[in-house]
A and B are shown apart, each in its own frame.
Chain A
């Protein structure tokens, strides 16, 4: 019993370690001083108001939203194909094909970034928002597949067969039976992909050309100490937003598993 107590204390301490930087964020976002250090200087909301009048930031937000929405939709579409194929069919070369699609999960992002940069510039393509989208779809798809796999895995095959027996075609069965059952998984995959794309830096840094995205903008501001408090304010908002999105994603993921009668094995991966 005491061993269990020790483990719990260790795990709680570990959570503190995990959350330490994030907990500091709001403290400095409301701190009335340009230097990000203790002791604190007093309460202010000026960093938040400063943020709202910033035109470059507004452009970066707009770009990032376009990129994140497009990447999430495309990655989830590709993910549906891959997850359906992986859970329902056996075909030659399955391991290799799925392995290649999942590879960006472990490949260092800088390798993905420079190899794409080489191809795009080799083809004479000019860099911009859509080149970032291509890169982000590549890295979001494995996460989408991981989430969608568990949604498709818990599908009862007999429901599908019943639909065929009742005269539905392959396509209408997918639309009427399978899609509604995996819909929560799809929502969850969209939200996770959106969050990953919104936060991704390296690929955007290499492939965005002159278009700023949110993380690229944030990175550029770190060079100017006087700009950092406003970044803390921005970060606070971003963290709250991501936690909200992830919580909704988790809700849908669990609902999806419950809906199709599967057992929750926990976690996104």
Chain B
């Protein structure tokens, strides 16, 4: 009997592996292998239009000793962190509202409305932020019309601020969904218990709801922070020269200068930094993530 069960288990495992193999092989060939090669390239030498198989750390030394690359790299990290903080802080009340104050049969509609803009014409949306934030833009003409300002604001386009605003807009739904899912899982009787034990609404939120939703907040932070650092379109269109980010130099190295090793070294450096920060963040929040599967 035990033997048969064992065999059944083994065949189940085998079935599962066979079934998962097409997407898994695809991911290994087109994701894992290319990422490995990217890593390898970053240690090779660039011979104009070819890549020489000479192992070197020079690409990393060049990248990190170049003040331009260093500035752009740190700026990208800063922008990503700001975007993440703004996005998650703005998103939390919305997720809370949909989870706690919207009728259950209306929740899907709200989530649908929130996700629509995320999937429509990313490029054109970014371009329209230029129209909104520009010198003759919607915001400036609106504020001028209302008499709130005397001359157009110039600090909101072609710099880091514009990049932050535009990215915070682009990634908003990404932050709302994980927080919403975590809030939905909270057992509502815990909140009643909190109030019955004499806590105020605010303290109940602080001591029950927030800690229980932290897994969603952490997921939201990572799902916004990691992709934003590699955004190319937004800094290119609204960032101006002082808003360039790391994707713009990767693009420059790859497509303009045709220097794959240098581009790879910058890409790998950026990914290593992002991963390190993400792991640190996970570590700092470990008590919220433990035992909540």
Contact = CB atoms under 8 A, between A and B. Distances in A.
A91 B23 contact: no
A199 B172 contact: no
A119 B33 contact: yes
A266 B172 CA distance: 17
A268 B115 contact: yes
Contact of A118 (B23, B41, B173): B41
The bracket for how many chain A residues form the interface is 35 or more
B169 interface: yes
Nearest to A257: B108
A242 B237 contact: no
Contacts of B45: none
Contact of B31 (A100, A195, A196, A266): A100
Interface in B234-288: 237, 247, 250-251, 254-255, 260, 263-264, 267, 271
Contact of B24 (A101, A218, A238, A264): A101
A264 B247 CA distance: 38
B34 A91 contact: no
B38 A199 contact: no
Interface in B122-148: 122-125, 127-129, 131-132, 134, 136-138, 141
Contacts of A267: 108, 111-112, 115, 177, 180-181
B65 interface: no
Given A18-B172, A250-B112, A25 B255 contact: no
B232 A110 contact: yes
A218 B97 contact: no
Contact of A82 (B20, B113, B228, B264): B20
Contacts of B68: none
A114 interface: yes
B113 to A, nearest CB: 6
Nearest to A144: B23
A218 B237 CA distance: 12
A84 B19 CA distance: 8
Interface string B19-43: 1111110111011111101100100
A111 B132 contact: no
Interface string A100-130: 1101111111111011111100100000000
Contacts of A199: 119-123
B75 interface: no
Interface of B is mostly: helix
A246 B201 CA distance: 38
B227 interface: yes
A104 B26 CA distance: 13
B38 A100 contact: no
Contacts of B156: none
A20 B133 CA distance: 12
Nearest to B93: A10
Interface in A135-149: 135, 137-138, 141, 145
Contact of A266 (B38, B107, B230, B260): B107
B227 A108 contact: yes
Contacts of A239: 120-121, 124
A224 interface: no
B20 A81 contact: yes
Nearest 7 pairs of A and B residues by beta carbon: A108-B230, A89-B16, A91-B16, A115-B34, A21-B128, A85-B20, A85-B19
27 contacts: A15-B114, A21-B129, A24-B138, A37-B137, A78-B23, A89-B13, A91-B14, A91-B16, A103-B27, A106-B222, A106-B227, A107-B226, A114-B250, A115-B35, A192-B119, A202-B232, A202-B233, A219-B123, A231-B127, A238-B124, A239-B121, A239-B124, A242-B120, A243-B116, A247-B112, A266-B111, A267-B108
Given A215-B123, A235-B121, 20 more contacts: A14-B90, A14-B94, A21-B169, A36-B131, A38-B136, A81-B21, A82-B23, A84-B19, A91-B12, A92-B13, A97-B24, A105-B223, A110-B230, A117-B254, A119-B37, A137-B30, A201-B122, A218-B123, A246-B116, A267-B112
